[in-house]
Amino acid sequence: MIIHCVSLTRATERRQRIRREWIEERGFDVRFFDAFDRRRVGVEPLPFPYDDALTRARIGRSLSSGEIACAISHALLVRQALEAGQDDLVVLEDDASPLDGTTPEAVASMIAACRANFPRVSVLLMHELDAPRRSAETRSGIHRAAPASWGHPHHRSGYLGYRFVWLSQAALMILARDLPRLILPADWFWQLRFAPTRCLAYPERPLARDAGTSSYIGAHALRGGESTPFRA
């Protein structure tokens, strides 16, 4: 199983930690995907156009340069996966650490259990969530998320994250279409797009946790990152 780690080339300490914790100590096949740097936003043309008026109409505010960079990074990774003919994708962000018992076999088993028990689920969040969630049903240690089991995604109580996730081909196709529009932070899609259609799941026992550092890309202010709105 290949895991794609979204990471800045300049994030050398984070990459070293990923190599140590995930590759050397646990034997994961992790491939680094060079993230789009927020320092490039507003300095050079973006791979995808950003429409600030459309974004403000959609979520009531502008995206920060970090949120734009994050969405671009994940959009580029998803596009690469589809162009390579991949049926699914496991994505790791470099601010995640594995929990005890997290092995390649455990990850494969969790994804297989999700596929077998919830064929319609297309996104599996395998990291710790920031608050308890309400499940619609549970099978084999996998919770299918209830459509409205948490608050608005930009509130701390509604944060779900993008730390360690499995995406089916159906999810890849949806994200390939919607992420490049740059009208939502990347992890808001879990609640606003996948939970309402009953396609979002999370495990009873997660496999990764926040390493204790704010997002290097520059997340929303509630994540401790850069919060200055960007306007094209």
Q: What is the pLDDT of residue 1?
A: 87
pLDDT band at 66 (very low <50, low <70, confident <90, very high): very high
At residue 79, φ and ψ (nearest 5 deg) are -60, -40
Instruction: Indicate the average pLDDT of the chain.
Output: 88
Output 219 or 46, whichever has higher pLDDT: 46
**Lowest mean pLDDT, pick from 73-82, 143-152, 172-181:** 143-152
| Predicted confidence (pLDDT) per residue in 192-211, tens digit | 899 999 999 999 999 999 98
Q: Tell me whether strands 200-203 and 88-93 are parallel, antiparallel or unpaired.
A: unpaired
Q: Is 192 helix (H, G, I), strand (E, B) or coil?
A: helix
Give alpha helix (H) positions in the chain: 12-18, 52-59, 65-83, 104-117, 169-178, 188-189
For the chain, the domains span 2-212
Across residues 127-153, what is the average pLDDT?
82
Question: Right CATH number for 2-212 from 3.90.550, 2.60.40, 1.20.120, 3.30.420?
Answer: 3.90.550
| CA 106 – CA 197 distance, rounded (Å) | 27
Q: Are 21 and 98 contacting, i.e. CB atoms less than 8 angstroms apart?
A: yes
pLDDT band at 81 (very low <50, low <70, confident <90, very high): very high
In the chain, which ranges are E strands? 2-7, 29-34, 88-93, 96-98, 123-125, 135-139, 142-145, 164-168, 200-203, 208-210
Q: Chain centroid to CA 162: how far? A: 2
What lies within 8 Å, CB to CB, of 25 at 6+ separation is none
| CA 38 – CA 18 distance, rounded (Å) | 21
| Predicted confidence (pLDDT) per residue in 93-114, tens digit | 999 999 999 999 999 999 999 9
Neighbours of 187 (CB within 10 A): 23
